[in-house]
């Protein structure tokens, strides 16, 4: 009989995190949605059906992260998978106008959050193995102007992924990361409507000529956490339609 795996996914009330939660639940996992909006997390868990739970959690705060992991392990009967998806955006302001308080908050949510959740979940995985999936970004692999805090945070997540993978391989914990490109989430659509991003320009820069759908990121994430990736650890998988691979002049694609 196949073991039913238990997964905790942070920032999973919306966007990529919600797509990940749906995909993992479809694969038979019991899900703990940990989100800073506890009410919305509970609502999303109810949408997934019986056996899933929603938890309020600020991953940047040590006590909150530890409490959420303890509650998830107790409710689910253990934790086999962690997805560190929670994050916040940066301001896109010119560097000379960037505020150190927001800079530090971006680093704290992404880096501290990934570290704290991974450390706490690993305590429950020790001896039984498991899989941790971190969410990096194209912003952590290449240079994007004005994206100082976000880029530094995502680059740090990519490096932390490799460090933890090497340290924990011997106890059966695999640690990998996704590096998504631009994804057609509700947030991106809001930024487009506000004139903060030019979708057409982005699509021309992507060799595949379009933004990803959240479900496509979720499929790649499930692969890295599934038995199909049993010999994969320390990997940073670009899911970006060819963005990182392209280095020619001009547009990467045409309408």
Q: Quick one: 96 exposed, middle or buried, by C-beta within 10 A (0-12, 13-18, 19+)?
A: exposed
- CA–CA separation, 175 and 187 (whole Å): 27
Backbone φ/ψ region at 31: left (φ over 0), alpha (ψ -120 to 50), beta: beta
Query: Which residue of the set 150, 182, 222, 243 is catalytic?
Result: 150
Token pair 């021309």 is found at: 204
> How far separated are the first and last CA of the chain, in Å rounded?
49
Active-site annotation holds for 150: yes
Q: How open is the CA angle 49-130-5, to the nearest 5 degrees? A: 25
Which residues form the catalytic set? 150
């Amino acid at each position: 009989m196949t073991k039913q795996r238990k997964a905790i996914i942070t920032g999973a009330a919306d966007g990529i995190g919600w797509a990940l939660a749906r995909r993992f639940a479809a694969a038979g996992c019991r899900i703990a949605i940990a989100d800073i909006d506890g009410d919305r997390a509970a609502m999303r868990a109810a949408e997934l059906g019986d056996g899933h739970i929603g938890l309020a959690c600020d991953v940047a705060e040590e006590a909150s992260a530890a409490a959420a992991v303890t509650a998830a392990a107790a409710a689910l009967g253990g934790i086999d998978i962690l997805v560190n998806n929670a994050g916040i955006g940066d301001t896109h302001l010119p560097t000379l106008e960037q505020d150190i308080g927001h800079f530090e908050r971006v680093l704290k949510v992404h880096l501290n959050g990934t570290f704290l959740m991974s450390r706490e979940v690993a305590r429950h995985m020790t001896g039984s193995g498991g899989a941790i999936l971190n969410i990096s970004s194209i912003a952590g692999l290449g240079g994007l102007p004005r994206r100082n805090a976000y880029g530094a945070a995502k680059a740090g997540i990519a490096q932390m992924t490799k460090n933890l993978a090497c340290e924990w391989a011997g106890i059966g914990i695999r640690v990998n990361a996704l590096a998504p490109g631009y994804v057609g989430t509700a947030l991106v659509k809001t930024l487009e409507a506000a004139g903060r991003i030019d979708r057409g320009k982005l699509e021309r820069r992507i060799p595949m000529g379009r933004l990803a759908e959240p479900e496509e990121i979720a499929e790649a994430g499930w692969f890295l956490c599934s038995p199909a990736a049993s010999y994969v650890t320390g990997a940073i998988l670009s899911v970006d339609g060819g963005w990182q691979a392209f280095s020619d002049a001009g547009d990467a694609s045409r309408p």
